[in-house]
Amino acid sequence: MSDLLKKIGILKAAVQNPAEEPLDFRELAEAYCDAIAAHTYIVGRRGKILGYAFPDGFDCGMDEVIKRSECFPESYNQELLRITETQVNIEKATDKCIFHFLKQCPLGSRKVTIVPVFGEGERLATLIFLKGDVGLGAEEVVLAEFAALVLGNKILGMKSKRAEKEAEKSAAYQIALKTLTPRELRAVKCIFRAIDGPEGLLVITRVAEETGLGRSLIVNALRKLEGAGVIAVRSHGMKGTRITILDPNFLDELEKEAYKT
């Protein structure tokens, strides 16, 4: 029992990075592999191999193929998605490699345990554990299901944090746009139409001439957006002013504002 609790602690510790930081799925797969003593794959909903690890001393010779492919075959991923409950020690009908159908898997009579990862009713990922001959024991199945549980909670937390940050950014952009006068807002629209992208060189006097807006008004609008952390502005002397949009989502908010006016 003490060994099981120790391994549970290792699995919990493996996902204890801050919610705003991305998970290192390769390290996570290695932690799962060490605790459960099985070949481990963490697979995204679309079949992307997020992380994988093999037990120490094992080399199946397909490591480079896995890195290049990055995904399980679509047909295999569809099989995974149809599995909604843990399947323990499935005996594969073929001894061929999943990634290379002409190559024999060195595990031979491997047994596969598939654990779906859910969060709030949504399929988030799949854990796959391969082990030859005997497959996973009862304690290892408990660890596999616990790993799926904590991973699901972690992914949900990351998604929630990401959505929260996007909402904060959107609110900040709206506030920044609301500080602009109608004429300044018009100037901003003309500016981003002129640079046509996330970054570009702008000659302010030329924009002023083309739009009939004063140079000082355009400069003031740019200062407001720079002060709000929306853009970075750098003068290049006679060549013009380089404007960099720090987050492309700002253009979406500007587009929404355009429809209101």
Q: What is the pLDDT of residue 97?
A: 59
Q: Are 245 and 199 in contact (CB under 8 A)?
A: yes
All structural domains of the chain, each given as residue ranges with its CATH number in brackets, are: 2-165 (3.30.450.40), 179-260 (1.10.10.10)
CA angle 12, 16, 20 (to 5 degrees): 145
Give per-residue pLDDT as tens, 81-129. 999 999 999 886 555 555 544 455 655 567 889 999 999 889 999 999 9
Per the rule left: phi > 0, alpha: psi between -120 and 50, beta: everything else, 243 is beta
pTM for the whole thing?
Answer: 0.69
Q: Which two tokens stand for residue 256?
A: 């929404």
Over range 187-213, report the average pLDDT: 83
Q: What is the pLDDT of residue 101?
A: 46
Please state, rounded to an integer, the average pLDDT across all residues of the chain. Answer: 82
